[in-house]
Amino acid sequence: MSWKTVVCVFIVSIILAGCATVWDKPGLNATDLRRDAAECKRDADQILDKISLTPWDAYLQRQQIMNRCMEARGYTKE
């Protein structure tokens, strides 16, 4: 297996792990979760639009910003 294949598999694994985040909150309903996640994504996009990052760094920063935003709204990761 070439090093490029290993790197690609590693990157895809990280991306899929990030997509698998499950949020929980007392009294959670799907409408509130969708709204809060969309607002956190919008906030992250607005912050990241002001700085220049590589696509990978932008992805990592977006995840961190979104996680902090969701946690600030009372969500926890399952």
pLDDT digits (tens, 9 = 90+) for 12-62: 555 555 556 899 999 989 999 999 999 999 999 999 998 889 999 999 999
Report yes or no on 52 lying in a domain. yes
pLDDT at 1: 66
Domain-located, residue 46: yes
Query: Is residue 7 domain-resident?
Result: no
Task: Decide if 58 is inside a domain.
Answer: yes
CA-closest candidate to residue 70, choices 53, 46, 62:
62
Query: Does residue 57 belong to any structural domain of this protein?
Result: yes
Q: Quick check: is 71 in a domain?
A: yes
Q: What domain range includes position 66?
A: 23-77
Q: Is the residue at 45 inside a domain? A: yes
CA pair distance 78, 73, nearest whole angstrom? 15
Split into its structural domains, the chain has a count of: 1
pTM: 0.70
In a domain? residue 55: yes
Residue 18, pLDDT score = 54
